[in-house]
Structure 1
Amino acid sequence: MTESGDPRRALALLWGRPAPPRRGPKPRLTVERIVAAAVAVADADGLDALSMRRVGEDLGVSPMTLYTYVPGKAELLDLMWDRAWAGLVPPGAVGWRDALEHIAREHWRFYHRHPWLLAAATSRPRLGPHTLDRYEIALAAVDGLGLTDVEMDAVVALVEGFAASAARASVEARAAERRTGRTDLEWWEATAPVLAELVEPDRYPLATRVGAAAGQEHQAASDPEHAFAFGLARVLDGIAALVAARS
């Protein structure tokens, strides 16, 4: 939730509680339409492009009109964040490990669908319905395993935090490709021969051997999707050890 402003008003907007009716003509817009337009801007051009003026232009109204529905950009971002998580698919009737893997992969998918979520993240949660749905779904995956409530919360934070971190690397790699017009493979093919001329293998024997093996495997300096899958498996291994210790 926004770190400034009126929390009562912000929460009322997040939970869809309408403001008292106003006299005058019927409102031209709804909060949902404004949020949908703002999400479309952020999806297409990133958070740097988001402004009340830009959203107003896309909706054919002045920025001042938007302020009669949403107090400001900070509250709009809260609404965008919460709405973006709508449609998160819960895991089916599977064991806790498969459930957590499913949740992590859902987060990976959502961050790639809405890359601006990574830039919009804050340390203070936006306590809207879809955000709490997300938390409830994740907690249900580890309920009944013998973990304390604090441990359950920490496990959820670990899995979700790892998914966000891994997705950030992947999103940034895609952004670099768009920005430079060069794929990771093309960059590696241009860089590797020059590096081979400059680096003495005897000075970096491990880096030379392992880096060459990884580069050949990934056809790039790194592979974010492979790193995500490998790291997620190790995170789940660690949680499995914790669950076993509580049994």
Structure 2
Amino acid sequence: MDEFSPRILPLLWRRSIPARKAVGRPPRLTVDAVVSAAVRIADAEGLEAASMARVAAELSVATMSLYTYVPSRPELVDLMVDEVLWTRGLAGGGGFRERVLRYAERTFAMYRAHPWLAEVSRVRPPVGPGTLAETEYVLAAVATLGLPVRRLNPAATAITAWVTAAARAEAESTLLRRDTGLSTDQWWAQRGELWEDWFDVGAHPTMTRIWNAGAFDRGADEQAQDAYEYGLGLLLDGIERSASVEGDDRVP
């Protein structure tokens, strides 16, 4: 059961809380140090490796002492996710497309640096500064177009979903390559027998036609990038066109 724990909010928003004056001996660690160690481990070895015991060993402390700073592993993962979301540093002005492309570039860079993010569901994200900074940034980008207020969140959500899905898919490919030693192109090459012995040309006429035209000649990663850029361009064109049709209703 996915129950909300009120313990997570002070941890997520710890930098917004005024520091308390230390009484007695200062703590050996900080929440920041615990989260940073967990992220380093996950970057190098995968999310599963970043257990409480492994993080404690990395910090040269007893496992039980780690729970003084972070109450559980699920809460540690939430803190890790929000931390890397925050490190994108989403800020800066410019027009609608400039802002969206900045968001996309930094999101892809984030997933490339932290591919384990692809193993964490973003459906119910940690409600921390990193998550809300993303929401604010994309909403602000869309708001420059003068869309009706009721359209702002759907448009921003569509952009976030498209960019994040593509970045996650690339990170998932990285994880699979790490785990199997095979690139996606090598994986497909191992299945060459499918096309020679099992593929029914008559049942797949459209696939056959574009195959013969060379549409599948590029590698899997290149095709994925082509599809992402094509779809993003159409999405942004559509949002801009909608703004021109529905009039100016800018958020004050």
How far the C-alpha of 1:57 sits from its partner, in A, is 0.8
Q: Aligned in 2, Cα 1:176/1:87: closer, same or farther, shift over 3 Å?
A: closer
Unaligned regions of 5+ residues in structure 2, if any? 248-252
Equivalent residue for 2:166? Answer: 166
Equivalent residue for 2:118? Answer: 118
CA contact (8 A) 1:3 1:124 kept: no
State the percentage of identical aligned residues. 36
Deviation string, structure 1 residues 91-149 (Cα, Å, up to 9, x no partner): 64432123212212321221222122233234334222232222222222122422233
Amino acid at match of 2:31: V
CA contact (8 A) 1:188 1:221 kept: no
Name the SS for the 2:146 alignment partner.
coil
Structure 2 residue 224 is matched with structure 1 residue 224: yes
Select between 230-239 and 111-120 the one with higher mean Cα deviation: 111-120
Question: Taking structure 1 as the reference length, what is the TM-score of the superposition?
Answer: 0.85
Name the SS for the 2:215 alignment partner.
helix
Q: Aligned in 2, Cα 1:18/1:39: closer, same or farther, shift over 3 Å?
A: farther
Q: Aligned in 2, Cα 1:183/1:120: closer, same or farther, shift over 3 Å?
A: closer
CA contact (8 A) 1:52 1:73 kept: yes
**Aligned partners of 2:180 and 2:101: how far apart in 1?**
33
**Aligned partners of 2:122 and 2:93: how far apart in 1?**
32
Deviation string, structure 1 residues 132-180 (Cα, Å, up to 9, x no partner): 2222222221224222334212222111111121122222222333333
Equivalent residue for 1:186? Answer: 186
Select between 195-204 and 230-239 the one with higher mean Cα deviation: 195-204
**Aligned partners of 2:75 and 2:198: how far apart in 1?**
52
Structure 2 residue 16 is matched with structure 1 residue 15: no
CA contact (8 A) 1:107 1:163 kept: yes
Amino acid at match of 1:152: L
Unaligned regions of 5+ residues in structure 1, if any? none
**Aligned partners of 2:220 and 2:139: how far apart in 1?**
37
Select between 126-135 and 30-39 the one with higher mean Cα deviation: 126-135
CA contact (8 A) 2:56 2:66 kept: yes
CA contact (8 A) 2:13 2:128 kept: yes
**Aligned partners of 2:178 and 2:69: how far apart in 1?**
35
How far the C-alpha of 1:5 sits from its partner, in A, is 1.8
Equivalent residue for 1:208? Answer: 208
**Aligned partners of 1:41 and 1:221: how far apart in 2?**
27
Superposition pairs of residues 1-247 of structure 1, within 5 angstroms: 3-6=3-6, 9-16=7-14, 17=17, 24-90=24-90, 92-192=92-192, 194-212=194-212, 213-216=214-217, 218-220=218-220, 223-247=223-247
Name the SS for the 1:85 alignment partner.
helix
Name the SS for the 1:97 alignment partner.
helix
Select between 101-110 and 193-202 the one with higher mean Cα deviation: 193-202
CA contact (8 A) 2:117 2:168 kept: no
Q: Aligned in 2, Cα 1:200/1:221: closer, same or farther, shift over 3 Å?
A: farther
Q: Aligned in 2, Cα 1:188/1:76: closer, same or farther, shift over 3 Å?
A: closer
Select between 168-177 and 220-229 the one with higher mean Cα deviation: 220-229
Select between 179-188 and 61-70 the one with higher mean Cα deviation: 179-188
Select between 26-35 and 38-47 the one with higher mean Cα deviation: 38-47
Amino acid at match of 1:116: W
**Aligned partners of 1:183 and 1:117: how far apart in 2?**
19
Question: Taking structure 2 as the reference length, what is the TM-score of the superposition?
Answer: 0.83
Q: Aligned in 2, Cα 1:186/1:70: closer, same or farther, shift over 3 Å?
A: closer
